[in-house]
Amino acid sequence: MLIQRIKISNFKTYLSLDLDLTVDDDRPIILIGGSNGGGKTTLFEAISGALYGLKIESKEHFMELLNQGAVNKVKPEISLQITFVGKVLGQQQKYILKRNYILNPQGRPLESVSLNMNGNMYVYGTMTAPKERVRAEQEISKIIKANLPQELSQYFLFDAMQSSELLKKNVFQQTIRDNFENVLGSKSICTKKNVQPKSYSKSGQSSDWKPKKRPKNIVSLCNQKEQLVIDLNASLAEQDRLYKYMSSVEDEYQRAKEGAQQAANLSKRIQDVDGKIRVITEDAANYAENLKAFVDNIEINVFLPKLASNLSQEINNILRVKEQLQKQSTGTYPIETLRDVTSKIIDYLKELSLCSQAVDEENVISHIVAMQNTTNAKDPYDYLNTAEVDALRELPKKGNGNQFVSIDRKRQDMEIQLANLDNLRTEKRTLEQTQAGGNGLLIANYEDAKRSVDKLKTQEDSLKNEIQRLEKRIHQFDVQIQQEPDVKFDTLVKLRPFFDKVADNLLKKKKTQIETEMQSQLNRLLVSYKGHVGRVELSDSMENFNIKLYHSAGNEISLNQLNAASKQIFIQVLLKVLRNLGDYNPPVMIDTVMGVLDNESRDALMEEYFPQLAEQTILLCTTSEIRTDSDYIKLEPFISKTYTLHRNVEEQNTTIDEGYFGIPLNQ
């Protein structure tokens, strides 16, 4: 297993970090320097958290892990992503493992996990359906376990300052047992339950376990409880689903609420856009009508104006004659008017006795008509009626301009307007969706989800209370349900001696290798007994396992009497040997690499330990641990990359630069 990259977002001292951790084959070391409190341990924790999860228990815990410089500036979300290569079933694969953490609207931490294995995706989260989550989680766990099981990670990702504590805890036995039992796969099986296959009497004598007959009442109560637990899990799953939805649309919901308050402005904008669309549409319709009329009357619109321009002089003469005759005939009256006026005048004169009673009206009217006719000139164009004269009057005007040019200019204007019509319609749809469709539906769905969560919380409380009530009733019966026989588990318990025997056989096979390798390493690195470690002795059995160290003179060297520096060297040698002889090939990451070592021990580690420790070794240290004027020079030929962490107290953020405290790497 080799770590290629670690990405951190909003985790503790890191607001954002993207760090390349690839190494060359002949340069296995990555050196990362920083002052105390600069973020070295946080980087250490981030890699471990990316692999195995952060186990965030509460909102308060989440806020403790969240980068404080990000509070109220970016979305409160912690993200850890690690890229690594490893072998599964002999095949080397590239993996991208990402873990995201957020708080749902109720303040509950939510986790989502994704693993990309050469394009194959495995995804699960807090809200994933139970069956799907179990399947994806098992696949991801299987891949991680195949490269570096979590129970063994403490021996490869560790703080050197704590190595002496490992000795105090007597973890040597457990270290080696973990290695073998994980190879066998028996550890997880045999520790699933803490149940004895036998029951014991008060006298301490064992007897075969016999199940007690269950009363019918308790069977019914247990069935009820089981159903309530199913209902409770379903309620919690639905809550998680709703929480996930509400979290995913939280920002959109807030914007939608703000948008709803601006509905009046949106409505006016929609009206304005709609008005522009309507004007363009009406203009287009009018243009179409005008174009059709132009085509339908193309003779009049094109040819007639040209003819009229050539006949304009003749037409003007006709119109002038007509106008003169019209002026001359302004005093002429129609026959009906003459008849009526003449009758009234004659009757009036007769009443006044101013004319003879024998005057003939018709003669008078005929005389007046004759007088009018003698004063009016003859019309040479009397064959033209009024409508035809009007047409002649308009005809010269048509020759003054080309209607085709006007129509074509309108066409160009319409093309510009129609080109913008689609944009206007799109803008209108967007505004309408913003005003009603999208926002209204989003607000309704979000608030419905919130109400559903409240109901489910009430249901959850009710189910929990009912389960507690049933448990009290069940416990009234003197029946130890947990002692019911489990055939599968009992079989595994019976096989435990077999597993122990196999583990012992494996230990015996590797015992000599471990002893020989440890003796060689200690004689070079354990300064206080350099060259005088006579032998290392491991017990033959995993039961009550122990490890002993002997001087070349034959006496046993008490491990508890070693000083702090020697204890650190001893445990680190043990871990290196187990790593080399074990079934895993993980990177080694060490924080506070020098711990309490003296100068001689430091030199031994620099020259003989770190360069051959692993295919990838990540060292986190200060300038007092890896000194720039001495230690760094010894390590540099084995270093692929160097970085320096910088803590910005004001911004509450850690950044990283290439180079070790200003010293560029020479390669």
Instruction: For the chain, give the percent of residues with pLDDT over 70.
Output: 69
Structure tokens at 228: 């309530």
Parallel, antiparallel or unpaired: strands 653-658 and 588-591:
unpaired
In whole angstroms, what is the distance from residue 205 CA to residue 15 CA? 62
Instruction: For the chain, give the percent of residues with pLDDT over 90.
Output: 14
Q: Pick 585 or 489 by higher pLDDT.
A: 585
pLDDT score for 640:
94
Mean local confidence (pLDDT), 279-306: 70
pLDDT tier for residue 372 given thresholds of 50, 70 and 90? low
Buried b / exposed e over 237-260, threshold 16 CB at 10 Å, is: bbbbbbbbbbbebeeebeebeebe
Which of 110-114, 205-209, 548-552 has the least mean pLDDT? 205-209
Q: Could you read off the pLDDT of 212-241 as tens digits, one per residue?
A: 444 556 677 777 888 888 888 788 778 777
Residue 644 has pLDDT above 80, yes or no: yes
pLDDT tier for residue 305 given thresholds of 50, 70 and 90? low
DSSP helix/strand/coil, 470: helix
Residue 489 has pLDDT above 60, yes or no: no
DSSP string, 497-564: HHHHHHHHHHHHHHHHHHHHHHHHHHHHH-GGGTT-EEEEEE-SSSTT--EEEEETTSPEEPGGGS-H
Give Cα 173 to chain centroid, integer Å: 45
Residue 207 has pLDDT above 90, yes or no: no
Tokens 């354990």 correspond to: 526
pLDDT score for 217:
67
Q: Pick 449 or 167 by higher pLDDT.
A: 449
pTM for this prediction: 0.53
Dihedral over Cα of 219, 221, 225, 228: its sign = positive
Structure tokens at 385: 């009626």
Which segment, 20-29, 122-131, 157-166, is predicted with the most confidence on average? 20-29
pLDDT tier for residue 210 given thresholds of 50, 70 and 90? very low
In whole angstroms, what is the distance from residue 571 CA to residue 575 CA? 6
In whole angstroms, what is the distance from residue 597 CA to residue 603 CA? 10
Side-chain half-sphere CA neighbours of 317 within 13 A: 5
Structure tokens at 63: 């806020």
Which of 105-109, 118-122, 124-128, 231-235 has the least mean pLDDT? 124-128
In whole angstroms, what is the distance from residue 576 CA to residue 262 CA? 67
Q: Pick 407 or 650 by higher pLDDT.
A: 650
Q: Could you read off the pLDDT of 168-184 as tens digits, one per residue?
A: 555 545 555 554 454 43
Q: Could you read off the pLDDT of 490-519 as tens digits, one per residue?
A: 655 665 665 566 666 666 777 788 888 889
Q: Could you read off the pLDDT of 594-641 as tens digits, one per residue?
A: 766 777 878 888 888 888 888 899 999 888 888 888 888 889 999 999
In whole angstroms, what is the distance from residue 584 CA to residue 146 CA? 8
Side-chain half-sphere CA neighbours of 581 within 13 A: 23
pLDDT tier for residue 17 given thresholds of 50, 70 and 90? very high
pLDDT score for 406:
72
pLDDT score for 186:
40
- Using an 8 Å Cβ cutoff, are 464 and 215 in contact? no
Which segment, 125-129, 242-246, 551-555, is predicted with the most confidence on average? 551-555
- Using an 8 Å Cβ cutoff, are 32 and 640 in contact? no
pLDDT score for 482:
44
- Contact partners, residue 575, CB within 8 Å, separation at least 6: 155, 156, 158, 175
For the chain, give the mean pLDDT: 75
Residue 278 has pLDDT above 70, yes or no: yes
* CA end-to-end span of the chain: 24
Give Cα 486 to chain centroid, integer Å: 44
Structure tokens at 578: 């187990």
* Residue 140 DSSP one-character state: H
Residue 451 has pLDDT above 80, yes or no: yes
| Torsion angle defined by CA atoms of residues 84, 85, 89 and 91, in that order, rounded to the nearest 10 degrees | 150
pLDDT score for 79:
94
pLDDT score for 428:
72
pLDDT score for 204:
40
Q: Could you read off the pLDDT of 420-450 as tens digits, one per residue?
A: 777 777 777 776 766 554 466 777 788 888 8
Structure tokens at 396: 């010269």
- Contact partners, residue 206, CB within 8 Å, separation at least 6: 198, 199, 200
Mean local confidence (pLDDT), 70-87: 86
pLDDT score for 212:
45
pLDDT score for 496:
62
